[in-house]
Chain A
Amino acid sequence: MTVVLDFEKEIIDLEEKIAEHMKAREASAAAAAEKSPTQEGCNQREPAPSEPQRDEEVESLKKALEEAKRRVYSNLTPWQTVQVARHPARPLLRDYIAGIFSEFIELHGDRCFGDDQGLIGGFAKIDERRVMLIGHQKGKTVEENVRSNFGMANPEGYRKALRLMMLARKYRLPIVSFVDTPGAYPGVDAEARGQAEAIARNLMVMSTLDVPIVVIVTGEGGSGGALGIAVGDAVLMLSNAIYSVISPEGCASILWRDGSKAPEAAEALKLTAPSLLKLGLIDEIIMEPPGGAHRDPAATLAAVKAAILKHLKILLKISPRKLVERRFEKFSRMGRYKKR
Protein backbone atom coordinates (compact mmCIF):
# COMPACT_ATOMS: atom_id res chain seq x y z
CA MET A 1 0.00 0.00 0.00
CA THR A 2 1.61 3.24 -1.10
CA VAL A 3 0.10 6.53 -0.20
CA VAL A 4 0.23 9.19 -2.89
CA LEU A 5 0.06 12.75 -1.64
CA ASP A 6 -1.25 14.96 -4.44
CA PHE A 7 1.63 17.43 -4.29
CA GLU A 8 4.09 14.53 -4.58
CA LYS A 9 2.66 13.34 -7.89
CA GLU A 10 5.39 14.87 -9.98
CA ILE A 11 8.06 13.24 -7.81
CA ILE A 12 6.36 9.87 -7.90
CA ASP A 13 5.92 10.02 -11.71
CA LEU A 14 9.62 10.65 -12.12
CA GLU A 15 10.48 7.87 -9.69
CA GLU A 16 8.28 5.50 -11.64
CA LYS A 17 9.81 6.49 -14.96
CA ILE A 18 13.29 5.92 -13.60
CA ALA A 19 12.21 2.57 -12.20
CA GLU A 20 10.82 1.58 -15.60
CA HIS A 21 14.07 2.44 -17.31
CA MET A 22 16.05 0.50 -14.76
CA LYS A 23 13.77 -2.47 -15.25
CA ALA A 24 14.12 -2.24 -19.02
CA ARG A 25 17.87 -2.03 -18.73
CA GLU A 26 17.95 -5.04 -16.42
CA ALA A 27 15.75 -6.95 -18.83
CA SER A 28 17.91 -6.13 -21.82
CA ALA A 29 21.07 -6.93 -19.88
CA ALA A 30 19.57 -10.27 -18.94
CA ALA A 31 18.55 -10.90 -22.53
CA ALA A 32 22.02 -10.00 -23.70
CA ALA A 33 23.54 -12.29 -21.13
CA GLU A 34 21.34 -15.12 -22.35
CA LYS A 35 22.18 -14.48 -25.96
CA SER A 36 25.90 -14.01 -25.61
CA PRO A 37 26.95 -17.54 -24.74
CA THR A 38 25.18 -19.03 -27.81
CA GLN A 39 26.31 -16.38 -30.24
CA GLU A 40 29.77 -16.28 -28.73
CA GLY A 41 29.94 -12.57 -28.36
CA CYS A 42 29.76 -11.62 -32.05
CA ASN A 43 26.36 -10.04 -31.83
CA GLN A 44 26.72 -8.88 -28.26
CA ARG A 45 26.65 -5.22 -29.18
CA GLU A 46 23.33 -5.40 -30.89
CA PRO A 47 21.20 -3.62 -28.21
CA ALA A 48 24.08 -1.31 -27.41
CA PRO A 49 23.06 1.71 -29.49
CA SER A 50 20.12 2.34 -27.17
CA GLU A 51 22.15 1.94 -23.98
CA PRO A 52 24.01 5.24 -23.84
CA GLN A 53 20.82 6.95 -24.88
CA ARG A 54 18.95 5.29 -22.08
CA ASP A 55 21.70 6.13 -19.60
CA GLU A 56 21.49 9.71 -20.63
CA GLU A 57 17.76 9.74 -20.25
CA VAL A 58 17.97 8.17 -16.82
CA GLU A 59 20.54 10.72 -15.78
CA SER A 60 18.37 13.59 -16.88
CA LEU A 61 15.35 12.02 -15.17
CA LYS A 62 17.34 11.64 -11.98
CA LYS A 63 18.39 15.23 -12.16
CA ALA A 64 14.78 16.27 -12.72
CA LEU A 65 13.75 14.13 -9.75
CA GLU A 66 16.28 15.74 -7.41
CA GLU A 67 15.18 19.12 -8.65
CA ALA A 68 11.51 18.27 -8.17
CA LYS A 69 12.08 16.91 -4.66
CA ARG A 70 13.94 20.01 -3.65
CA ARG A 71 11.40 22.35 -5.21
CA VAL A 72 8.30 20.63 -3.89
CA TYR A 73 9.72 20.07 -0.41
CA SER A 74 11.07 23.55 0.07
CA ASN A 75 7.64 24.98 -0.70
CA LEU A 76 5.33 22.78 1.34
CA THR A 77 2.32 24.53 2.82
CA PRO A 78 1.67 23.84 6.52
CA TRP A 79 -1.19 21.52 5.57
CA GLN A 80 1.06 19.57 3.20
CA THR A 81 3.60 19.31 6.00
CA VAL A 82 0.87 17.84 8.22
CA GLN A 83 0.31 15.16 5.60
CA VAL A 84 4.02 14.39 5.35
CA ALA A 85 4.28 14.22 9.15
CA ARG A 86 1.50 11.61 9.12
CA HIS A 87 2.82 9.69 6.10
CA PRO A 88 2.48 5.95 6.80
CA ALA A 89 5.91 5.19 5.33
CA ARG A 90 7.64 7.66 7.64
CA PRO A 91 10.12 6.01 10.02
CA LEU A 92 8.46 5.01 13.30
CA LEU A 93 9.89 4.52 16.77
CA ARG A 94 10.83 0.91 16.09
CA ASP A 95 12.76 1.97 12.98
CA TYR A 96 14.71 4.46 15.05
CA ILE A 97 15.34 1.84 17.73
CA ALA A 98 16.54 -0.72 15.19
CA GLY A 99 18.60 1.72 13.17
CA ILE A 100 20.15 3.99 15.79
CA PHE A 101 20.48 1.96 18.96
CA SER A 102 22.76 -1.06 19.30
CA GLU A 103 20.76 -2.39 22.23
CA PHE A 104 17.24 -1.89 23.57
CA ILE A 105 15.95 -3.58 26.69
CA GLU A 106 12.28 -2.74 26.91
CA LEU A 107 10.90 -2.19 30.39
CA HIS A 108 7.21 -2.83 30.77
CA GLY A 109 4.38 -1.51 32.89
CA ASP A 110 3.49 1.41 35.12
CA ARG A 111 3.27 -0.73 38.32
CA CYS A 112 -0.28 0.52 38.81
CA PHE A 113 -2.50 -0.66 36.05
CA GLY A 114 -0.92 -2.05 32.91
CA ASP A 115 1.56 -1.84 30.09
CA ASP A 116 0.75 0.72 27.44
CA GLN A 117 2.00 -0.20 23.99
CA GLY A 118 1.35 3.28 22.62
CA LEU A 119 4.16 4.68 24.75
CA ILE A 120 7.12 2.42 25.42
CA GLY A 121 10.60 2.69 26.83
CA GLY A 122 13.65 1.01 28.26
CA PHE A 123 17.42 0.95 28.53
CA ALA A 124 19.18 1.60 25.25
CA LYS A 125 22.68 2.00 23.88
CA ILE A 126 23.66 4.53 21.26
CA ASP A 127 27.31 4.35 20.18
CA GLU A 128 28.20 2.65 23.47
CA ARG A 129 26.53 5.47 25.38
CA ARG A 130 23.81 4.21 27.70
CA VAL A 131 20.55 6.11 27.84
CA MET A 132 16.92 5.75 28.90
CA LEU A 133 14.79 5.67 25.79
CA ILE A 134 11.09 6.52 25.78
CA GLY A 135 8.75 7.21 22.91
CA HIS A 136 5.34 6.98 21.34
CA GLN A 137 4.85 3.89 19.25
CA LYS A 138 2.68 3.92 16.17
CA GLY A 139 2.15 0.79 14.10
CA LYS A 140 2.43 -0.07 10.43
CA THR A 141 -0.36 -2.60 10.16
CA VAL A 142 -3.90 -2.54 11.46
CA GLU A 143 -3.08 -5.15 14.12
CA GLU A 144 -0.07 -3.19 15.29
CA ASN A 145 -2.08 -0.01 15.44
CA VAL A 146 -4.80 -1.69 17.45
CA ARG A 147 -2.13 -2.82 19.92
CA SER A 148 -0.42 0.54 20.12
CA ASN A 149 -3.64 2.55 19.78
CA PHE A 150 -2.13 4.57 16.91
CA GLY A 151 0.38 6.05 19.31
CA MET A 152 -2.32 7.55 21.51
CA ALA A 153 -1.16 6.73 25.02
CA ASN A 154 -3.34 6.10 28.04
CA PRO A 155 -2.52 7.28 31.57
CA GLU A 156 -0.55 4.10 32.25
CA GLY A 157 1.71 5.03 29.33
CA TYR A 158 2.56 8.39 30.86
CA ARG A 159 3.00 6.79 34.28
CA LYS A 160 5.33 4.18 32.82
CA ALA A 161 7.32 6.94 31.15
CA LEU A 162 7.51 8.73 34.50
CA ARG A 163 8.72 5.58 36.23
CA LEU A 164 11.44 5.11 33.63
CA MET A 165 12.50 8.75 33.86
CA MET A 166 12.82 8.43 37.65
CA LEU A 167 14.89 5.31 37.07
CA ALA A 168 17.06 7.27 34.67
CA ARG A 169 17.66 9.81 37.40
CA LYS A 170 18.61 7.07 39.84
CA TYR A 171 21.00 5.41 37.36
CA ARG A 172 22.33 8.78 36.13
CA LEU A 173 21.27 8.09 32.55
CA PRO A 174 20.39 10.77 30.02
CA ILE A 175 16.84 10.49 28.64
CA VAL A 176 16.13 10.34 24.93
CA SER A 177 12.45 10.87 24.14
CA PHE A 178 10.81 10.28 20.74
CA VAL A 179 7.55 12.14 20.17
CA ASP A 180 5.07 10.96 17.55
CA THR A 181 1.42 10.97 18.63
CA PRO A 182 -1.90 12.38 17.43
CA GLY A 183 -2.55 13.12 21.12
CA ALA A 184 -3.24 11.43 24.43
CA TYR A 185 -6.16 9.02 24.09
CA PRO A 186 -9.56 10.65 24.62
CA GLY A 187 -11.45 7.69 26.07
CA VAL A 188 -13.72 6.93 29.00
CA ASP A 189 -11.19 4.69 30.72
CA ALA A 190 -8.43 7.20 30.14
CA GLU A 191 -10.53 9.79 31.97
CA ALA A 192 -11.39 7.38 34.77
CA ARG A 193 -7.70 6.63 35.32
CA GLY A 194 -6.71 10.27 35.23
CA GLN A 195 -5.24 11.19 31.87
CA ALA A 196 -4.98 14.81 33.00
CA GLU A 197 -3.24 13.95 36.26
CA ALA A 198 -0.78 11.63 34.54
CA ILE A 199 0.30 14.27 32.03
CA ALA A 200 0.40 17.05 34.65
CA ARG A 201 2.64 15.00 36.92
CA ASN A 202 5.05 14.28 34.08
CA LEU A 203 5.29 17.99 33.28
CA MET A 204 6.04 18.78 36.89
CA VAL A 205 8.61 16.04 37.43
CA MET A 206 10.36 16.52 34.09
CA SER A 207 11.04 20.13 35.02
CA THR A 208 13.09 18.92 38.01
CA LEU A 209 14.97 15.88 36.65
CA ASP A 210 18.70 16.48 36.95
CA VAL A 211 19.74 14.34 33.98
CA PRO A 212 19.91 15.54 30.37
CA ILE A 213 16.70 15.18 28.36
CA VAL A 214 16.87 15.15 24.56
CA VAL A 215 13.50 15.23 22.81
CA ILE A 216 12.99 14.53 19.11
CA VAL A 217 9.61 15.27 17.53
CA THR A 218 9.73 12.84 14.61
CA GLY A 219 6.17 13.02 13.26
CA GLU A 220 3.11 14.39 15.01
CA GLY A 221 3.55 16.38 18.20
CA GLY A 222 -0.05 16.19 19.33
CA SER A 223 -0.74 18.62 22.19
CA GLY A 224 -0.55 17.54 25.84
CA GLY A 225 -0.02 13.95 24.79
CA ALA A 226 3.23 15.02 23.15
CA LEU A 227 4.31 17.51 25.80
CA GLY A 228 3.85 14.84 28.49
CA ILE A 229 7.22 13.39 27.45
CA ALA A 230 8.70 16.50 25.83
CA VAL A 231 9.93 18.84 28.56
CA GLY A 232 13.53 18.63 27.37
CA ASP A 233 16.85 20.46 27.50
CA ALA A 234 17.15 20.05 23.76
CA VAL A 235 13.85 19.81 21.88
CA LEU A 236 14.63 18.85 18.29
CA MET A 237 12.22 18.49 15.43
CA LEU A 238 12.47 16.81 12.06
CA SER A 239 11.98 19.36 9.32
CA ASN A 240 8.60 17.96 8.23
CA ALA A 241 7.30 17.12 11.69
CA ILE A 242 4.50 19.14 13.30
CA TYR A 243 3.87 20.19 16.89
CA SER A 244 0.57 21.76 17.87
CA VAL A 245 -1.81 22.54 20.68
CA ILE A 246 -4.69 20.99 18.72
CA SER A 247 -5.03 19.10 15.45
CA PRO A 248 -5.78 21.35 12.48
CA GLU A 249 -9.01 19.40 11.99
CA GLY A 250 -10.07 20.00 15.60
CA CYS A 251 -9.18 23.68 15.44
CA ALA A 252 -11.05 24.11 12.16
CA SER A 253 -14.18 22.46 13.50
CA ILE A 254 -14.18 24.77 16.53
CA LEU A 255 -13.03 28.13 15.16
CA TRP A 256 -14.14 27.75 11.54
CA ARG A 257 -17.11 25.53 12.47
CA ASP A 258 -16.04 23.37 9.55
CA GLY A 259 -13.53 20.51 9.80
CA SER A 260 -12.72 20.78 6.11
CA LYS A 261 -11.01 24.12 6.78
CA ALA A 262 -8.09 22.21 8.31
CA PRO A 263 -5.63 23.62 5.75
CA GLU A 264 -6.48 27.15 6.91
CA ALA A 265 -6.20 26.13 10.54
CA ALA A 266 -2.84 24.44 9.90
CA GLU A 267 -1.60 27.69 8.46
CA ALA A 268 -2.88 29.76 11.39
CA LEU A 269 -1.61 27.44 14.12
CA LYS A 270 2.07 27.86 13.11
CA LEU A 271 2.73 24.19 13.71
CA THR A 272 5.72 23.62 11.42
CA ALA A 273 9.30 23.29 12.64
CA PRO A 274 10.53 26.61 11.18
CA SER A 275 7.62 28.51 12.76
CA LEU A 276 8.20 26.90 16.15
CA LEU A 277 11.92 27.60 16.00
CA LYS A 278 11.17 31.22 15.27
CA LEU A 279 8.77 31.32 18.25
CA GLY A 280 11.54 29.93 20.45
CA LEU A 281 9.58 26.81 21.38
CA ILE A 282 12.04 24.27 19.93
CA ASP A 283 15.83 24.33 19.89
CA GLU A 284 16.84 22.87 16.54
CA ILE A 285 15.54 21.47 13.27
CA ILE A 286 16.92 18.18 11.99
CA MET A 287 16.84 18.38 8.19
CA GLU A 288 15.16 15.48 6.43
CA PRO A 289 16.56 14.25 3.11
CA PRO A 290 15.07 15.93 0.02
CA GLY A 291 11.64 14.43 -0.60
CA GLY A 292 10.94 13.73 3.07
CA ALA A 293 11.87 11.12 5.68
CA HIS A 294 9.62 8.49 4.10
CA ARG A 295 11.63 8.66 0.87
CA ASP A 296 14.96 7.98 2.54
CA PRO A 297 14.61 6.49 6.03
CA ALA A 298 18.31 5.56 6.25
CA ALA A 299 19.47 9.14 5.76
CA THR A 300 16.81 10.33 8.23
CA LEU A 301 18.00 7.89 10.88
CA ALA A 302 21.60 8.97 10.35
CA ALA A 303 20.66 12.62 10.78
CA VAL A 304 18.65 11.90 13.93
CA LYS A 305 21.46 9.83 15.39
CA ALA A 306 24.02 12.54 14.75
CA ALA A 307 21.76 15.14 16.35
CA ILE A 308 21.16 13.01 19.47
CA LEU A 309 24.88 12.36 19.93
CA LYS A 310 25.72 16.00 19.41
CA HIS A 311 23.25 17.20 22.03
CA LEU A 312 24.08 14.48 24.53
CA LYS A 313 27.71 15.50 24.31
CA ILE A 314 26.84 19.14 24.98
CA LEU A 315 24.37 18.42 27.78
CA LEU A 316 26.54 15.91 29.61
CA LYS A 317 29.10 18.65 30.19
CA ILE A 318 26.60 20.72 32.15
CA SER A 319 26.32 20.14 35.88
CA PRO A 320 23.05 18.53 37.01
CA ARG A 321 22.07 21.59 39.00
CA LYS A 322 22.70 23.95 36.16
CA LEU A 323 20.84 21.66 33.80
CA VAL A 324 17.65 21.96 35.85
CA GLU A 325 18.07 25.71 36.16
CA ARG A 326 18.60 26.05 32.41
CA ARG A 327 15.53 23.99 31.59
CA PHE A 328 13.40 26.01 33.99
CA GLU A 329 14.61 29.27 32.48
CA LYS A 330 14.02 28.02 28.96
CA PHE A 331 10.40 27.08 29.55
CA SER A 332 9.80 30.19 31.68
CA ARG A 333 10.78 32.37 28.74
CA MET A 334 8.19 30.81 26.43
CA GLY A 335 5.38 33.27 25.94
CA ARG A 336 7.12 36.04 27.87
CA TYR A 337 6.90 39.30 25.95
CA LYS A 338 8.68 42.51 26.75
CA LYS A 339 5.98 44.89 25.67
CA ARG A 340 3.89 43.95 28.66
Chain B
Amino acid sequence: MIHRILIVEDEQLLAEAMKEFLSSAGYDVDCASEREEAEALLAHYPYALVITDLALTALGLAGVDILDSLAGQAKRPKIIVYSGHPDPDLESHLASHGVDAFLQKPQPLGELVRVASELLECRA
Protein backbone atom coordinates (compact mmCIF):
# COMPACT_ATOMS: atom_id res chain seq x y z
CA MET B 1 0.00 0.00 0.00
CA ILE B 2 1.33 3.41 -0.97
CA HIS B 3 0.75 5.93 1.77
CA ARG B 4 -0.57 9.34 0.81
CA ILE B 5 0.99 12.41 2.38
CA LEU B 6 -0.18 16.02 2.43
CA ILE B 7 2.42 18.78 2.80
CA VAL B 8 1.05 22.11 4.02
CA GLU B 9 3.72 24.67 3.28
CA ASP B 10 3.51 28.14 1.77
CA GLU B 11 7.16 28.35 0.72
CA GLN B 12 6.83 26.83 -2.71
CA LEU B 13 10.47 25.87 -3.19
CA LEU B 14 10.59 24.11 0.17
CA ALA B 15 7.31 22.34 -0.54
CA GLU B 16 8.63 21.11 -3.88
CA ALA B 17 11.86 19.87 -2.31
CA MET B 18 9.95 18.01 0.42
CA LYS B 19 7.65 16.51 -2.19
CA GLU B 20 10.59 15.34 -4.26
CA PHE B 21 12.28 13.65 -1.28
CA LEU B 22 9.12 11.95 -0.08
CA SER B 23 8.08 10.89 -3.59
CA SER B 24 11.51 9.36 -4.10
CA ALA B 25 10.92 7.37 -0.93
CA GLY B 26 7.82 5.88 -2.52
CA TYR B 27 5.04 8.02 -1.11
CA ASP B 28 2.16 9.65 -2.95
CA VAL B 29 2.52 13.34 -2.09
CA ASP B 30 0.24 16.36 -2.49
CA CYS B 31 0.92 19.96 -1.49
CA ALA B 32 -1.31 22.73 -0.16
CA SER B 33 -0.15 26.28 0.48
CA GLU B 34 -3.02 27.60 2.55
CA ARG B 35 -5.36 26.46 5.28
CA GLU B 36 -8.59 26.22 3.25
CA GLU B 37 -6.86 24.27 0.50
CA ALA B 38 -5.48 21.81 3.04
CA GLU B 39 -8.81 21.42 4.81
CA ALA B 40 -10.67 20.75 1.56
CA LEU B 41 -8.12 18.10 0.55
CA LEU B 42 -8.23 16.49 4.00
CA ALA B 43 -12.03 16.30 3.79
CA HIS B 44 -12.01 14.40 0.49
CA TYR B 45 -8.81 12.40 0.16
CA PRO B 46 -7.45 9.73 2.51
CA TYR B 47 -4.13 10.98 3.88
CA ALA B 48 -2.00 8.84 6.15
CA LEU B 49 0.28 11.70 7.15
CA VAL B 50 0.12 15.50 7.21
CA ILE B 51 3.32 17.50 7.36
CA THR B 52 2.49 21.09 8.15
CA ASP B 53 4.30 24.29 8.73
CA LEU B 54 2.97 25.97 11.83
CA ALA B 55 3.05 29.60 10.78
CA LEU B 56 2.05 29.94 7.18
CA THR B 57 3.55 33.38 6.74
CA ALA B 58 0.81 34.99 4.73
CA LEU B 59 -1.97 33.53 6.81
CA GLY B 60 -0.98 33.73 10.46
CA LEU B 61 -1.08 30.59 12.59
CA ALA B 62 -3.09 28.67 10.04
CA GLY B 63 -1.20 25.50 10.87
CA VAL B 64 -2.74 25.46 14.34
CA ASP B 65 -6.20 25.72 12.80
CA ILE B 66 -5.46 22.71 10.65
CA LEU B 67 -4.31 20.77 13.71
CA ASP B 68 -7.52 21.69 15.52
CA SER B 69 -9.69 20.54 12.61
CA LEU B 70 -7.80 17.24 12.45
CA ALA B 71 -8.14 16.67 16.19
CA GLY B 72 -11.87 16.10 15.83
CA GLN B 73 -11.52 13.32 13.29
CA ALA B 74 -12.12 9.75 14.41
CA LYS B 75 -9.41 8.34 12.16
CA ARG B 76 -7.03 11.21 11.76
CA PRO B 77 -3.75 11.05 9.89
CA LYS B 78 -0.40 11.17 11.64
CA ILE B 79 0.90 14.73 11.99
CA ILE B 80 4.38 16.15 11.72
CA VAL B 81 4.91 19.84 12.41
CA TYR B 82 7.91 21.15 10.52
CA SER B 83 8.43 24.69 11.61
CA GLY B 84 10.85 27.45 12.39
CA HIS B 85 8.52 28.87 15.02
CA PRO B 86 10.79 29.99 17.91
CA ASP B 87 8.94 28.97 21.06
CA PRO B 88 10.52 26.88 23.85
CA ASP B 89 7.14 25.57 25.01
CA LEU B 90 6.09 24.65 21.54
CA GLU B 91 6.61 20.90 21.68
CA SER B 92 4.42 20.39 24.73
CA HIS B 93 1.84 22.75 23.27
CA LEU B 94 1.81 20.77 20.02
CA ALA B 95 1.54 17.48 21.85
CA SER B 96 -1.73 18.71 23.31
CA HIS B 97 -2.93 19.20 19.73
CA GLY B 98 -2.19 15.56 18.94
CA VAL B 99 1.00 16.18 16.97
CA ASP B 100 3.04 13.01 16.50
CA ALA B 101 6.41 14.61 15.74
CA PHE B 102 7.97 18.04 15.69
CA LEU B 103 10.91 19.01 13.51
CA GLN B 104 12.61 22.36 13.85
CA LYS B 105 13.65 24.17 10.68
CA PRO B 106 16.21 23.99 9.22
CA GLN B 107 16.42 20.23 9.15
CA PRO B 108 17.91 17.88 6.52
CA LEU B 109 15.10 16.60 4.34
CA GLY B 110 16.47 13.10 4.82
CA GLU B 111 15.54 13.41 8.49
CA LEU B 112 12.01 14.38 7.52
CA VAL B 113 11.73 11.26 5.35
CA ARG B 114 13.09 9.11 8.19
CA VAL B 115 10.55 10.45 10.72
CA ALA B 116 7.72 10.17 8.20
CA SER B 117 8.63 6.56 7.44
CA GLU B 118 8.74 5.67 11.13
CA LEU B 119 5.31 7.14 11.78
CA LEU B 120 3.80 5.47 8.74
CA GLU B 121 5.24 2.10 9.71
CA CYS B 122 3.61 2.49 13.13
CA ARG B 123 0.33 3.34 11.43
CA ALA B 124 0.53 0.30 9.12
Are these two chains actual partners, yes or no?
A: no
B binding-site residues for A, Cβ under 8 Å: none
A binding-site residues for B, Cβ under 8 Å: none
